[in-house]
Structure 1
Amino acid sequence: MEERNISGYIIIGTGIRYLMHVQEGHELGGDGNVMDNIQRFVRACETHGLHVTERLAILEFGPIVQAIIDSRSAEVNDIKEIEGKLPVVDAAKIRTSATKIRSTLLAEANGLFVHVARDKRFATEKLLKKVPTLMSPGVFDRLPRVAQYDFTEAGRCIAFETPTAAAFHLMRGTEDVLRFFYCSIIKRERRKLMWGPMVDHLRRRRNPPPLVLLNNLDSLRVSFRNPTQHPDKIYDIEEVQDLLNLSIDVVNRMIKYVDPLTSASRDVALEALTSGQAESTESIVVSAVES
């Protein structure tokens, strides 16, 4: 996917309109004048994939521009630097060429489509570029790398309205944070790094994490994670935004809880996630039903 500013399409439209109505005596050089409009039009067509229109514009405008350059005694390095007024003959040629090019432009543009991401309960810009701002300050930077990736992808999936894919990333990202959370607290005799056993082990501790957090984690597992992991559930765009809120809430709570831990403990937890103690994704999928 490529991000494009829509100003380029505006340049194409205003440029061809200017050239269709250009008159003798218009300034040749300088910003916004004849040569600048020709140059910007051709470049905008190239940038925005209107290659048939671009080639026709080069064929039509090229000889006209070259004739104007040849009529100058001094060397021309940039056509926008050409001084003088547009001759009557060249003005007529440009108008004729621009009218012809416009027909091709409209025909080619008719086969191109722009897909616009609509704002939802979350602003599109935040979903696409600023997912960390949806969490409590500083939380995203403390997440494991995979969780950061999954929450970023979930934001993009919601922006582009692929809600079931977003749910998959939300649950995967939340589970990765849960593993980090569990390994930050449990230093010895860890259970399998699977959602159900981890939460159950945390519940049985003498000083367990807050009950509201553990209950919310269990609710996510039963109501969302398991149906999402297996082909049991299809989400709509509203439901997955609710799930985003729920996921962010438990992630904020987990990171807030482990934040007072020493950096050494955090390093041990991260190492546990990357040293082979965590099961492979394949084994987790196979045995997910057990959790």
Structure 2
Amino acid sequence: MRETDLQIFYHLGKALADARRVTAGMSASNALRLLFWPEDWLRAFLQQTDHSNFSSRNPIPVPDSRAAAEELLSRIKAINKRGHADYNENHFITPDDFTSLVVALDRFESDFARECKDINVFTVTDKGTHSPRKLLAQAELNLPLAVRQRLNKKSLADLKAAGRCLAFETPTAAGFHVLRAVEPLIVKYLSLIPAQVSKKKNTSRNWGAYIAVLKKHGGDKRVVAALEHVKDFFKDFYRNPIMHPEVTLNPDQALSLFHACLSLVVQLDAAIQTWRPTTSPASGLSSTP
């Protein structure tokens, strides 16, 4: 995925209107005044559509337009080169210059009018007060700096993924990732308090079990309340409810869950930072991918 700079297409179209004003018999220096910006924006167009500038290696699908733009740029550069040297206005646009320029312009505009329909440009709307740009690139900024610095790489990656899913309106996937971002912190907190969870083969190690352990062994009441708030999103509670095929979220639910989990991350981080050992820590708890 990469960002498409639409202003390049706008300014190129505007500049090519000036190129249409070039006429046969015009001095090369006057033609330069009309073709300076078309040359500049054609370069920008070719750079924007060049896949080698992007790690994805997926070019914008306008191959014919790129070929036509390169031909048009070549024609314009040849005229502009003479224009730069035409201090005394002794060089003029010949009929052949004019014809080749018009043909190149027509070809580019025709090819781009056809191929631009294949450019995947969509409008990604705000999600609540969240801008798509921030959700796509920096969803973790919704957490305080100190919390972000202590967050492990796995949780951070899932939080970023949740932001992207929210931006692109895949709400159930957003819920899946934001819950995955939280669970390592739950397990870390549980590993600190003096609690033991049964290791029997059929023991259910889900969020409900986590809440029960925290209640029984004096876990932070704010953490328990935040966990129960997240649990209330689901009718049937599984270890990771979003992984169950019957559970789906709509965009509003996903956004609410995202906010609830952000609050839970902050509460868990605070509980972990303020915890002081009184007995030996619990063992046998671990999160799974």
Partner SS, residue 119 of structure 1:
coil
Indicate whether 1:135 and 2:143 are aligned: yes
Unaligned runs of 5+ in 2: 52-59, 200-204
State whether residues 164 and 235 of structure 1, in contact with CA within 8 Å, keep that contact through their aligned partners in structure 2.
yes
Distance 1:123 1:63, change over 3 A: closer
Instruction: Using the aligned pairs only, state the percent identity.
Output: 20
Name the residue aligned to 2:55: none
Query: For 1:37 and 1:53, how far apart are their aligned partners in 2?
Result: 14
The residue type equivalent to 1:177 in the other structure is L
- How many residues end up aligned between the 2 structures? 259
TM-score normalised by length of structure 1 = 0.74
CA contact (8 A) 1:45 1:53 kept: no
| TM-fit CA distance, 1:82 | 4.4
Match of 1:78 in 2: none
Q: Per the alignment, in what secondary structure is the counterpart of residue 138 of structure 1?
A: helix
1:209 equivalenced with 2:213 (yes/no): no
- Residues 87-120 of structure 1: per-residue CA shift (max 9 Å, x gap): 3223453234213321111011123231221112
2:92 pairs, out of 79, 83, 87, with: 87
What RMSD in Å do the two structures reach over aligned CA positions?
A: 3.4
What does residue 3 of structure 2 align with? 3
CA distance in 1, matches of 2:34, 2:79: 18
Q: What does the per-residue CA deviation read over 1:227-273, in whole Å, with 9 as the maximum and x for residues that have no partner?
A: 422112221111111111111111111111222348xx8xxx9xx8x
C-alpha contact 1:135 1:252 (8 A) present in aligned 2: yes
Contact 2:35-2:80 at 8 Å conserved across structures:
no
In structure 1, the gaps of 5 or more residues are: 73-80, 282-291
Aligned counterparts of 2:42 and 2:288: Cα–Cα separation in 1: 58
1:97 matched to which residue of 2?
Answer: 104
Name the counterpart of 1:249: 263
Q: CA deviation at 1:55?
A: 0.8
Give the corresponding residue for 1:76. Answer: none
- For 1:45 and 1:135, how far apart are their aligned partners in 2? 36
Aligned ranges 1:29-108 → 2 under 5 Å: 32-33=36-37, 35-46=39-50, 48-62=60-74, 65-66=77-78, 82-84=84-86, 87-89=92-94, 90-108=97-115
Of 103, 107, 124, 1:117 maps to: 124
**Matched residues in 2 for 1:228 and 1:152: separation?**
17
